[in-house]
A and B are shown apart, each in its own frame.
Chain A
Amino acid sequence: MIAPLLLQVLKSPEAVAGFTATEWDLLVRQAKAANLLAHLHVVFMDRGLEKAIPEKPGLHFKAAHKIARRSVLAVRWEVSQLQEALHSLAIPIVLLKGAAYVMAELPISRGRLFHDIDILVPRSALEEVEKRLMGWGWRTTHASAYDQRYYRTWMHEIPPMKQIRRQTVLDIHHSILPLTARLKPDPKKLLSQAVNFEGEGDLYWLCDVDMILHSATHLFHDGELEHGLRDLVDIAELLRHFATRDGFWQALCDRAEEMDLVRPLVYGLRYVDILLGVEVPDEAKAWMREGMPGRLLVAVMDSLFLRALQPDHASCNRWGTGLARWMLFVRSHYLRMPLKLLIPHLIRKAFTDDEEAAVPREVQRFIANNNP
């Protein structure tokens, strides 16, 4: 099977040099569906490929990049507000995922959209943090008693909070996997290795290897793989950025074992290698073989992930793509909690679907601008 155009370009960006108009058309559509337009713009600029991009598709890449730049500013503003609200508690606030990439000024933050802000705080500080945030205009989003209990007894985060004026969503974690999950990474170990610039201030992010482990854990335990490729690109870019330091790969593998996160890292490395062409050194590959599940299971996982991690666009779907995403969704729930908890939970959720319809902000703005 020929890889989708977007994956070919992510693997070797120079391939665009000979693209026809219809290839550009398909690339923009796939990249848009995968939320990677702005990232491609950054990749093309970094490789000095701007001359290879015809004007019309170029406008789509540039527009996405403008949106991404505003998104970075919005994250910085949101983090500054958060800092103002929490600084008097004198606890370390560890930023996760997108917010961390922005504040740590990592290359991956340049062509990426950011939605929710994620933070990690010590579990013992949760109550204080929540109370303080309420005072600064954040409110819990899941009103039902069941949802509140679901989050607070089983999950690795409290129900997301929303800022009432800015409508931004904040996820407050005390761990990186549900309390009920089979793998048991110790959040204290993550907190103890958190870093920031020059040790100044109370804003932190995970150290390089933990950042990658968290990203991989998130992707390979998360049920929604429609944006799986975007998350995989995050992992690939983090690896490319951090792997230049001496002893990085050894440290990464050791830390995965220490944190009980071997499987997610094995999968992460396997698929950034296969799909995105990240160079994984032989020692790490040898380590992966030890941590790999049996040959049959690998074949099954490959057949699922190599489908589900494709761009979410009809041109990339093949036989079984929808089924693969569904099966991985089921798998993620199975990994999150034991069946005796999961089955009653899913039955309950099936009858009370109270998720508010998510309308993108651009649409809200457009509607507001067009209605009296």
Chain B
Amino acid sequence: MARRLRGDGLPIKIGPFWINLRSIIPDLLRHIAFFYAQYETAESERFIDFHITLKNSGGLRRWVKPQANFLLDEYAPFKPLPYVHAFAMFEWGLNWCIATTAHHYLIVHAAVLEKGGQGIIMPGTPGSGKSTLCAAMSLRGWRLLSDEMALLDPVSRAITPVPRPVSLKNDSIGVIRRFSAGAEMGPAAKDTAKGTVAHLRPSLLSIQKASITCRPHAIVFPKYESESRTNLVKKAKNRALMEIQENAFNTHILGKEGFDAAKSLIDGCPNYSLQYSSLEDALITIERILDDAEVTA
């Protein structure tokens, strides 16, 4: 694996996308070995959606304070980052590739998990506790479709999985370690633009089922509030529609098609706000959403 990454690159299938990844950066090679060993790879040449290279930025920098540069084919969309952030840069960079290209979906900044064929979409602004809740659910038998982006088919409303390592920030890292002894985490990158970042490995089942789409059953807008009681309330549809669009990456490209997709999503399933501080209680509440068509707590 490392040999191919260092050479012509390794084609990896991530959700519906084939990427070809090349890098010699040791931290990134370890990241790929730890998180992507179970993913489908290709031996023969094939059509690749994203040719991604992470390389040292050149010059004296290489010896003094080495930096990593993210390239989509030959184009560098970002400024270089410190070497030790290379794996976080890969994950963010891949998000960017998808968000700027996959316009056959409405792409919503949201975690998506599924149980018994029923999907829960959790859109989240930073600080909402979306990723923490997503990590906890994936450690309790939910199938992870994505911790970052819901790929919604505008017509069928099916969600296409793109399971990736769950990105956890700052305090969430310790919270998830304490939540489950089974949490398999990669190393932490400190002092990134988002603070300390570490990733949680998705379950093998999530990776194996990556080609199976799911139907949205409910939309839950999480809101972490320390010391608060768990409180699930129905959310007004107009408010939910606004927030879905604010959290979408490509409404400006899709225009009316995107608006219609968001509206049909909101109309098609119940919408809730979930205030929580205890992960255990929040999980129980979300399980109950699956049982009933409409619940309040």
Interface of B is mostly: loop
Q: Smallest CB–CB gap between A35 and chain B, Å?
A: 11
Binds B, one of A121-129, A137-145, A274-282, A360-368: A360-368
Given contacts A54-B47, A70-B255, A371-B194, contact A365 B101 (CB under 8 A): no
Chain A residue numbers with a CB within 8 Å of B46 are 21-22, 25
Cβ–Cβ contact B74 & A314, under 8 A: yes
A361 to B261, CA, bound (A): 23
Q: Does A331 contact B (CB under 8 A)?
A: no
Distance of A372 Cα from B249 Cα, bound (Å): 15
Cβ of A263 under 8 Å from chain B: no
Chain B interfacial positions (CB closer than 8 Å to A): 18, 45-49, 51, 73-75, 77-79, 92, 95-96, 99-104, 109, 126-127, 193-194, 247, 249, 252-255
Q: Give Cα distance in the complex from A336 to B268, angstroms.
A: 61
Main secondary structure of the interface of A (DSSP, over half): helix
Q: Which of A59-79 contact B (CB under 8 A)?
A: 59-60, 62-63, 66-67, 70, 73
- Rounded to whole angstroms, the CA-CA distance of A362 and B249 in the bound complex is 9
Q: Does the CB pair B104–A59 fall under 8 Å?
A: yes
Task: Please give, as numbers and ranges, the residues of chain B lying within 8 Å of A22 by CB-CB distance.
Answer: 45-47
**Complex Cα spacing A24 to B102, Å:** 17
Interface pair B47/A360, CB less than 8 Å apart: no
In the complex the two chains form, is B103's CB within 8 Å of A66's CB? yes
Is there contact, CB below 8 Å, between A60 and B101? yes
- A22-B46, A366-B95, A371-B126 given as contacts; is B253 within 8 A of A66 (CB)? yes
A186 to B78, CA, bound (A): 43
What are 20 pairs between A and B in contact, CB < 8 Å?
Answer: A21-B47, A25-B45, A33-B73, A33-B74, A33-B75, A54-B47, A60-B101, A62-B103, A62-B104, A63-B104, A314-B74, A360-B77, A362-B96, A363-B77, A365-B249, A366-B100, A370-B95, A370-B126, A371-B126, A371-B193
Tell whether A57 is near chain B: CB-to-CB under 8 Å. Answer: yes
Closest chain A CB from B225 CB (angstroms):
16
For A360, the chain B residues whose CB sits under 8 A away are 77
Question: Residues of A at under 8 Å CB distance from B?
Answer: 21-22, 24-25, 28-29, 32-33, 54, 56-57, 59-60, 62-63, 66-67, 70, 73, 313-314, 357, 360, 362-363, 365-366, 369-372
A369 engages B249 (CB within 8 Å): yes
Which B residues touch A63, using CB under 8 A? 101-104
* Minimal beta-carbon separation of B247 from chain A (angstroms): 8
Residues of B within 8 A of A363 (CB): 77-78, 96
Give the CA-CA distance A24 to B49 in the complex, in Å: 11
Q: Name the contact of A21 in the complex, choosing from B45, B249, B255 (C-beta under 8 A).
A: B45
Do B49 and A362 touch across chains, with their CB atoms under 8 A apart? Answer: no
Contact partner of B126 (CB less than 8 A), chosen from A56, A70, A366, A372, is A372
- Name A67's closest neighbour in chain B (CB-CB): B253
Q: A19 → chain B, closest Cβ, in Å? A: 10
A73 to B74, CA, bound (A): 29
Asked if residues A366 and B103 are in contact (CB atoms below 8 Å), the reply is no
Inter-chain CA distance A157–B104, complex, in Å, is 40
5 smallest beta-carbon distances between A and B, as pairs? A63-B103, A372-B126, A21-B47, A362-B100, A22-B45
A225 and B87 CA atoms in complex are apart in Å by 34
Across the interface, do B96 and A29 meet the contact criterion of CB distance under 8 Å?
no
Q: Which residues of B contact A67 (CB under 8 A)?
A: 103, 253
Q: Is the CB of A57 within 8 A of B127?
A: no
**Whole-angstrom distance between the Cβ of B166 and the nearest chain A Cβ:** 15
A29 x B103 contact (CB < 8 A): no
Contact B73 A29 (CB under 8 A): yes
**Contact partners of A366 in chain B: CB under 8 A:** 95-96, 99-100, 249
Q: Name the residue on A nearest B246 (C-beta).
A: A369
Contact in complex: A57, B103 (CB < 8 Å)? no
Q: Which residues of A have CB within 8 Å of B126? A: 370-372
Measured CB to CB, the nearest residue on chain A to B103 is A63
Judge whether B253 and A29 touch: CB under 8 Å. Answer: no
* Cβ A369 vs Cβ B109 within 8 A: yes
Residue from the list A56, A66, A73, A369 in contact with B47, Cβ < 8 A: A56
Expressed in whole angstroms, the minimum distance between the Cβ of A227 and any Cβ of chain B is 13
CA distance A57 to B249 in the complex (A): 21
CA distance A75 to B193 in the complex (A): 34
A59 CA to B47 CA, complexed, in Å? 12
Question: Residue on B with the closest CB to A62?
Answer: B104
